[in-house]
Amino acid sequence: AQSVTQLGSHVSVSEGALVLLRCNYSSSVPPYLFWYVQYPNQGLQLLLKYTTGATLVKGINGFEAEFKKSETSFHLTKPSAHMSDAAEYFCAVSDHGRGGSNYKLTFGKGTLLTVNP
Amino acid sequence: DAGVIQSPRHEVTEMGQEVTLRCKPISGHDYLFWYRQTMMRGLELLIYFNNNVPIDDSGMPEDRFSAKMPNASFSTLKIQPSEPRDSAVYFCASSLRDRGFYEQFFGPGTRLTVL
């Protein structure tokens, strides 16, 4: 079974500082990996995804993530935080190629990002 | 595109009452998912449908929960009878195959409070 671990339920940064949100996964096959963002009182919105190909993936709002197979990680970064980045971020994994099961996502517990002025 | 639509956005009910949550997926999407989000358990997949047929309901907590998808544009999640521990935000999501992967689009959620 696949699983996702997000290190740090709450991360606080200053505006303009680097954002680093950690995600580690376990999967018995090469996974598809995702980051979703949830703003207050809203649903989840896809930030970026890794399926195949280039391991550095760029998403919306200046975020990017790098798939590192050797470390089973998919950490999310942004060089300079903005106040509007304050939200909860979820890492997710799908176990593709196993009998068509690639449509189920397993989510991490989420990391709440606070941006201080 | 209107996105995934859920109703109601907020529901407050008393223990023992029946609750029905509604979802309209994005037109043309062939998968529909129901999730529950709580502080304690995070985001949990309850059930999902493919072409209106339930595929996996292993996440449904107990027999008090049921879900239906009578057609491609409508799904319901029903709780009968409701209990305080059912209080949560319930999300509906839909997806369409894209080169072997199904990106999920989430609705705004229904915040359920059971007193």
Q: What confidence tens digit (pLDDT) does each residue in B61-103 have? A: 889 999 999 999 999 999 999 999 999 999 999 988 765 666 8
Each residue's pLDDT tens digit, A68-101:
999 999 999 999 999 999 999 999 988 665 445 5
Of B56, B100, B103, nearest to A46 by CB-CB distance is: B103
Q: Do A43 and B109 touch (CB under 8 A)?
A: yes
Do residue B42 and residue A94 have CB atoms under 8 angstroms apart? Answer: no
* pLDDT of A64 over the 90 cut: yes
Q: What is the pLDDT of residues B8-44, one digit of tens each?
A: 999 999 999 999 999 999 999 989 999 999 988 889 9
CB neighbour list of residue B16: distance below 8 Å, 6 or more residues apart: B81, B82
On the 0-12 / 13-18 / 19+ scale of CB atoms within 10 A, A40 is exposed
Inter-chain contact B42–A45, Cβ cutoff 8 Å?
Answer: no
CA distance A85 to B7: 27
* Cα(B18)–Cα(B72) distance, integer angstroms: 24
Mean pLDDT of chain A: 90
Q: Cβ–Cβ of B101/A44 closer than 8 Å?
A: no
* Chain A residues within an 8 Å CB radius of B43: 44, 90, 107, 110
Our CA-based measurement puts residue B83 at a distance from the nearest CA of chain A, in whole angstroms, of 23
Residue of chain B whose Cα is closest to the Cα of A110: B42
